[in-house]
Amino acid sequence: MNRDGQKRESELIKLISAEKLPRHVAIIMDGNGRWARKQGLPRIAGHREGMNTLKEIITCANELGINVVTLYAFSTENWKRPSWEVEFLMRLPEEYLKTELQPLIEKNIVIRAMGDLEQLPAVTKRAIKNALQATKDNTGMILNFALNYGGRNEILNAVKKIAERVQEGALKPEEISEDLFTRYLYTGDLPDPDLLIRPSGELRISNFLLWQLAYTELWFTRTLWPDFNKEHFLKAILDYQERERRFGGINKI
Ligand code: IPE
Ligand code: IPE
Ligand code: MG
């Protein structure tokens, strides 16, 4: 990065208030294909470049002291893509972790994965299992990858598990509260995201964290994920810190 960029970043960092940091940031990593097309490259080159963005943003989030980062890496709808692209995406966790697992371990980061993981190819499952195992005793930032994840699917799975408990007589319908339902989701033990970032210019949720985003602050940018950098991330956080979160109430009379 050039010196101007570094200067802008350090100026932005100074403006961030440590007390008002989002605890949980969710990111829809979108725009890899369009980035590649703009460069005249195949779509997979965009996915690979997106991995570099990922590294930069994880390092920054960790340095700031954010507790949880959830990253949308593959949706339940992404199986609709051509098989060569799906196959490439399914190999990315292995490729990413080959070089990144060790630095993540050293940063005390806990890797997690959520989604219908059973349906993933063996190579993907193996890489993830290894990363979960290697970081399970860490105590730092939680890095949560959404893989073969769909918000509706997650809600249905929770409903099925709750229905089974009711059928067994272990739970009464009147005991099903918002808190209880939340615990049956993949994110059961995590706070809801405070901030959702979506690059690439799309203004939609694309089946991500449907229940959890109820009161999340949304931040969109037209920048494509491979071009997204620390400066964008810091700007999103600063923007978040200026917002007034009311949760349906009123803050000032
Ligand atoms: C996001 O980039 C990566 C995944 C969905 C896996 P895209 O591949 O969706 O990129 P665009 O939206 O086609 O540019
Ligand atoms: C959302 O991006 C999924 C991920 C980033 C993993 P998509 O590219 O799949 O979303 P749509 O199709 O534009 O809504
Ligand atoms: Mg996309």
Q: Which ligand is nearest to the CA of 225?
A: 1
Helix, strand, coil percentages, rounded to 5, for the chain:
55, 15, 35
Q: Which residues surround ligand 3, an ion (CB under 5 A)?
A: 30
pLDDT, residue 179, reads: 98
Q: Which ligand is nearest to the CA of 53?
A: 1
How many Å lie between the centroid of ligand 1 and the Cα of residue 2?
Answer: 28
Query: At a CB cut-off of 8 Å and minimum separation 6, what does 225 contact?
Result: 29, 30, 31, 32, 35, 50, 53, 199, 200
Query: What digits encode the pLDDT tens for the residues 216-245?
Result: 999 999 999 999 999 999 999 999 999 999
Question: pLDDT confidence of 252, banded at 50, 70, 90?
Answer: confident
Enter the pTM of the model: 0.97
239 labelled catalytic: no
- Cβ burial 15-26 (10 Å sphere, 16+ → b, else e): eeeeeebbebbb
Q: Which ligand is nearest to the CA of 92?
A: 1
* Residues 142/190, Cβ–Cβ less than 8 Å: yes
How many Å lie between the centroid of ligand 2 and the Cα of residue 55?
Answer: 20
pLDDT, residue 169, reads: 98
Q: What is the largest CA-CA distance in the chain?
A: 65
How many Å lie between the centroid of ligand 1 and the Cα of residue 113?
Answer: 19
Transcribe 109-149 into DSSP letters: PEEEEES-GGGS-HHHHHHHHHHHHHHTT--S-EEEEEEEE
* Atom in ligand 1 nearest the alpha carbon of residue 224: 14
Q: Name which residue sits closest to atom 3 of ligand 2, judged by CA.
A: 75
List of domains in the chain: 22-149+192-241 (3.40.1180.10)
What are the structure tokens assigned to 29, written together?
Answer: 């990593």
pLDDT, residue 57, reads: 98
Strand segments, DSSP code E, in the chain are 24-28, 68-75, 110-114, 142-149, 195-198, 217-220
* Residues 170/216, Cβ–Cβ less than 8 Å: no
* Residues 190/110, Cβ–Cβ less than 8 Å: no
pLDDT, residue 251, reads: 85
Query: What digits encode the pLDDT tens for the residues 50-63?
Result: 999 999 999 999 99
Mean pLDDT of the chain, nearest integer: 97
The percent of residues above 90 in pLDDT, for the chain, comes to 97
pLDDT, residue 2, reads: 83
Question: pLDDT confidence of 185, banded at 50, 70, 90?
Answer: very high
What are the structure tokens assigned to 49, written together?
Answer: 């470049």
Q: Name which residue sits closest to atom 3 of ligand 1, judged by CA.
A: 30
30 labelled catalytic: yes
Checking DSSP bridges between strand 68-75 and strand 110-114, what pairing results, if any?
A: unpaired
How many Å lie between the centroid of ligand 2 and the Cα of residue 110?
Answer: 25
